[in-house]
Amino acid sequence: MRKYFLGMMIMICSAVALDLRGDEGMWLFNDLPVRHLKERYGFEPTAEWADHVMKSSVRFNVGGSASFVSSTGLVLTNHHVASDTLQKLSDEKNNYLRDGFLAKTRADELKAPDLELNQLVAIVDVTERVKAAVTDAMTTEQAVAARRAVIAEIEKEHLDASGLRSDVVTLYGGARYHLYQYKKYTDVRLVWAPESSIAFFGGDADNFEYPRYCLDACIFRVYENDQPAKIEHFLRWSRESAAEGDLIFVSGNPGRTSRIFTVAALKYQRDVRMPFMLNLLRRREIALQQFGLRGVEQARRAQDDLFGIQNSRKAYLGMLGGLQDPAVMAAKVAAEQRLRDQIAQNPKLGSFDEAFAKIADAQKRRAELIPLTLNFNSQLVGIAQRLVQMAVEDQKPSKERLAEYADAGRESLLQQLFSTAPIYADLEQFLLADALSHIVELRGGDDPWIAKILAGKSPTERAAELVAGSKLADVNERKRIADGKQAAIDASDDSMILFAKLIDEESRRIRQLTEELAEIEKQAYAKITEANFATQGTSVYPDATFTLRLSFGTITGYEQGGEAIPPFTVIGGAFEREAARAGQKDFVLPDSWKKARERLNPQTKFNFVSTADIIGGNSGSPVVNRRGELVGLIFDGNIQSLTADYLYDDRQMRAVSVTSDAIAEALRKVYGAQHIADELGR
């Protein structure tokens, strides 16, 4: 097992010179662009530096990034990454998402109901074993099963040997496979959160914009054996403020990028998937807004979901706008043609026309599946589906199960399934009715399967019946059914269990079709990537996969509409912005800030922008300097960065961060949290 991370780190010293565009790249920690960094910035990351930054980084399984910031288990992330937990901890009396929270002592720290935090500690290349399991003689269905089986075997073997969470990650579209091993923390407690009005100051209007004035930060603590965890690798807060021109690094978990996509795949995204997703998001946004109008408590219950939908809607608009720009698509067409020309000039590589054709055909078939989309937008339906499928899948050997039910991921699955977070019947019913109505619209009211799932009722009536007839909001009932396995499923008269059984066959059918298309694409992209390696070298970064990556860049402003946008904002600017936007509810600072105004240093740097290459999932990522010290916290990108799914351009694309200085200033002078600032070394 000593071949884990330290063995892989040797690779960083052999990286070849790269033809990069500025600060482009979301780099694997076991293949950093050392030569490029040395030549461009005079900085050479050592194996020890990379190992420390890697092990100081944290992944939130609900989506997002974070970092250890003390030896006693403190974890720093974004308020909006924490919002799901803040919502689950809130109730009618305590709205922590809106009003914030401060634990004055460790005894006051609030335990999250279902959070899992992951610390990456090892990487193993398992490419040869995964690839060997799939042969050219296999049908697509056989290839899906064989790949799933070998991945399940690898994950289970390494879990048993190490006790660490073990995930096989597909890289370069299927050309490489790495095993990522994580130490898991499941006892996670809330320490501090600011009010949403300062964490998201400017609201939807300022979202993905700059300049910004947001304290989008939140602090948790991880525990082991009911005691604060002892953390060896954590980020110390820099005593020196970040400055314009500084080289910085971002260690986080970017979600998904599509820079490897062929032109055919991008056109599918532009013309089919993204318009569909935007219409769906707009529909859900309106639904949540309407539900929130029913009352103060209903607005609270919908708040976190509404924020997430609005954030996604604006992000998709930006991505679609990029793909609809003829210049962007022309650049992609030209890049693909260059690659095909390079392949054609090397007879040893053979023809790749078939690989491109298979990807193009897969996009046509994906478009045909869009109307069959099954998304019920219901926690109770999702829970019921998990219970029904788990009972069936557990009767098979682990390697033959659907991936999420394999033995290696069982603990994480059960933690989510048995979450004690509240489920609100009124919100469930409202959202399920809307989702059922949308499915009817997509398939048509005369579709026999629609008639089957509606059971002679309207979507509104059916949703009311399903929610009222279920006990699955009770975690003890979920545990009872899970423990009873198939016999409990067969005996259950719970409305949601019966509904999950009703939709299971169709759900599995659509999943199989989708997975077969993904397998076709994996094989085709793997072949294209190998050609890319042959023509451009192997030291190129893969698309993001919600696994730990290192990005870098400089703190620098940009020009927009003929105006120079400075890299930093300051705390005093937040009060000026409030005054300039008087009367607009999203530009009202919380009372705590107004009361502390005289104590605050108005020149303290607040937010800043950098050329670091980030994407969704990087939210909460630490920003560190050359010494590996914390200087900031990623929380957003500017509007120009929304095309980063497909390409990087450092002329205007910027990552947006809150400074560590602003967090420390607020802890001491606004929130009276000197004990936390002391623990952070600030």
Give which of 41, 50, 115 is closest to 82, Cα–Cα: 115
d(CA 8, CA 5): 5
Burial (Cβ within 10 Å: 0-12, 13-18, ≥19) of residue 559: exposed
| pLDDT cut 70: percent of the chain above it | 96
pLDDT reading at 11 higher than 60: no
Give which of 412, 374, 361 is closest to 159, Cα–Cα: 412
Q: What is the pLDDT of residue 17?
A: 32
Least confident among 77-86, 297-306, 334-343, 385-394: 334-343
Q: What is the pLDDT of residue 342?
A: 84
608-617 pLDDT, tens digit each: 999 999 999 9
Mean per-residue pLDDT, 293-298: 96
204-246 pLDDT, tens digit each: 999 999 999 999 999 999 999 999 999 999 999 999 999 999 9
Burial (Cβ within 10 Å: 0-12, 13-18, ≥19) of residue 132: exposed
Q: What is the pLDDT of residue 413?
A: 96
Rounded to 5°, the CA angle 205-210-211 comes to: 105
Please, are residues 51 and 9 in contact by the beta-carbon 8 Å criterion? yes
Q: What is the pLDDT of residue 6?
A: 29
Please, are residues 12 and 30 in contact by the beta-carbon 8 Å criterion? yes
Return the sign of the alpha-carbon dihedral for residues 536, 537, 538, 539: negative
148-194 pLDDT, tens digit each: 999 999 999 999 999 999 999 999 999 999 999 999 999 999 999 99
Per-residue b or e along 388-424, where b marks 16 or more CB atoms closer than 10 Å to that residue's CB: bbbbbbeeeebbebbeebbbbbbebeebbbebeeebb
d(CA 155, CA 167): 6
pLDDT reading at 350 higher than 90: no
Tell me the DSSP string of 74-113.
EEEE-HHHHHHHHHHH--SS--HHHH-EE-SSGGGPEEPS
Mean per-residue pLDDT, 592-621: 98
Mean per-residue pLDDT, 520-539: 85
Q: What is the pLDDT of residue 78?
A: 98
How does DSSP classify residue 646? T
Q: How confident is the model at residue 314 (pLDDT cuts 50, 70, 90)?
A: very high
Please, are residues 660 and 633 in contact by the beta-carbon 8 Å criterion? yes
107-135 pLDDT, tens digit each: 999 999 999 999 999 999 999 999 999 99
Q: What is the mean pLDDT of the chain?
A: 94
Please, are residues 57 and 252 in contact by the beta-carbon 8 Å criterion? yes
Least confident among 329-338, 363-372, 444-453: 329-338
**Token pair for 66:** 């974070």
d(CA 189, CA 174): 37
Best-predicted range by mean pLDDT (321-325, 326-330, 452-456, 534-538): 452-456
pLDDT reading at 1 higher than 60: no
455-498 pLDDT, tens digit each: 999 999 999 999 999 999 999 999 999 999 999 999 999 999 99
How does DSSP classify residue 541? P
- Give residues with Cβ within 8 angstroms of 147, minimum separation 6: 130, 133, 134, 519, 522
pLDDT reading at 7 higher than 90: no
Please, are residues 5 and 123 in contact by the beta-carbon 8 Å criterion? yes
Q: How confident is the model at residue 530 (pLDDT cuts 50, 70, 90)?
A: confident
Q: What is the pLDDT of residue 352?
A: 84
Domain boundaries, the chain: 5-116+186-253+548-679, 263-527
Please, are residues 71 and 234 in contact by the beta-carbon 8 Å criterion? yes
- What kind of fold does domain 5-116+186-253+548-679 have according to CATH? Thrombin, subunit H (2.40.10)
Collapsing DSSP states into helix, strand and coil, what is residue 154? helix
Mean per-residue pLDDT, 584-612: 98
| Count of helices and strands (H, E) across the chain | 25, 21
Q: How confident is the model at residue 21 (pLDDT cuts 50, 70, 90)?
A: low
**What's phi and psi for 187, nearest 5 deg?**
-100, 95
42 strand-pairing partners: none
pLDDT reading at 274 higher than 90: yes
How does DSSP classify residue 215? -
Mean per-residue pLDDT, 89-100: 97
For 402, 423, 594, 609, the CA distances from 506, given in Å and listed in that order, are 15, 26, 56, 47
**What's phi and psi for 618, nearest 5 deg?**
-75, -10
638-661 pLDDT, tens digit each: 999 999 998 899 999 999 999 999
Return the sign of the alpha-carbon dihedral for residues 373, 439, 470, 282: positive
